[in-house]
Amino acid sequence: MVMTDSPSPACPIKGCTDTSWYADACDIEYHTSERTYAIHKCGRCDVLFIAPMLWDRLGEIYPKNYYSYAPAKKGLVQRLKEALDRRLFEKLLASIPGEKLSVLDIGGGSGWLLDQVKACSPRVSFTQCVDLDEGAQAEAVARGHAYHLGAIEEFETDRRFDLILALNLIEHVRDPAHVLRRIAELLTPHGRALLKTPNFDALDARLFRHRSWAGYHTPRHFVLFNRESFIDLAERNGLAVTTFSYTQGAPFWSVSVLDAMRRLGLVEISAQRPAIYHPLTPLLQAGFAAFDFARAPFAPLSQMVFTLGRRADRRMQEGS
């Protein structure tokens, strides 16, 4: 199934060279370019990865109207999601001991999620954002959050965090193992990390495998996992999984279906009219969220949520 004469690129997890072509994909969401990227699979690490990986050209692959930069729209699905997030934060914070808690959001933008965490418990006394987005800094600081402009790999601090949020982050970085090690180092001994990432072993991922499945988020997702391959990588980098669940992948369904409709000439999606702002998007998202929630007890969904703590053996090594 290899489509080109050139050998498959090495996998970004362990540098395995026996990787194979998996699919071709384009940016069906923002149409930042019409270029085709190859998605490869490392059978040994059980991950998908993109080639080329444009980690040094983020300004080109993240458009100005990228969703995490835009003000949150409060549709029905968004409000439901926030209510669920809040319940999750409350439960997580209740499980972490300590009178004063420090919380870090990696890729937290303007700090809107940290606002929610703060509102969940008066014990949250320090909040820190680490993000590459220069534009979000002033807003985050105005909301009372500390802000580090830069990558988590280069974030230096003596502080340790009781809760670390890494929601839809790990699939965007070129070296996920490095970022997981950094999370393990930054956690307090009883701290928890909450991490969300796509799952390529899901129905929508299979149906749209050769139709630029929106979970590839081409070319912005660099590495994709399934449940087993993520747990394996986390455990090899100083973390232990404490809880796991699948959650709805309505945004992937919605963008993938809109692109299928675009191919049929039914809708217009372009750089000027990205999928996320299409008028059908709220309707499609609500429908697919309901579909995914209904089948959640029986089937893996295309988003995974992990809570992680530091591995006990690592704690012992460090003598804490």
Q: Which residues would be at the binding site for Zn ion (CB under 5 A)?
A: 11, 13-14, 16, 42, 44-45
**Please, which residue, 44 or 196, has the CB nearer to Zn ion?**
44
Phi, psi dihedrals of residue 256, rounded to the nearest 5°: -65, -40
Least Å distance, CB 50 to Zn ion, is 14
Least Å distance, CB 17 to Zn ion, is 9
Q: In what order do the strands lie in the sheet with 223-224?
A: 19-25, 37-42, 47-51, 223-224
**Please, which residue, 113 or 231, has the CB nearer to Zn ion?**
231
**Please, which residue, 16 or 80, has the CB nearer to Zn ion?**
16
Least Å distance, CB 43 to Zn ion, is 8
**Please, which residue, 181 or 295, has the CB nearer to Zn ion?**
181
Q: How far apart are CA 92 and CA 195, in angstroms?
A: 12
**Please, which residue, 16 or 296, has the CB nearer to Zn ion?**
16
Which residue do the tokens 């809708």 mark? 267
CA torsion angle for 270, 51, 182, 113 (degrees, to 10)? 10
On whether the CB atoms of residues 91 and 243 are closer than 8 A, the answer is: no
Least Å distance, CB 238 to Zn ion, is 19
Q: How far apart are CA 210 and CA 197, in angstroms?
A: 21
Least Å distance, CB 10 to Zn ion, is 8
**Please, which residue, 45 or 194, has the CB nearer to Zn ion?**
45
Q: Could you tell me which residues come within 8 angstroms of residue 87 by beta carbon, excluding any fewer than 6 positions away? A: none
Least Å distance, CB 309 to Zn ion, is 26
Nearest to 30 by CA among 212, 248, 232, 273: 273
Report in angstroms the alpha-carbon separations of 158 from 141, 143, 309: 20, 23, 19
Q: What is the DSSP letter of 168?
A: T
Phi-psi region of 16 (alpha: psi -120 to 50; beta: other; left: phi over 0): beta
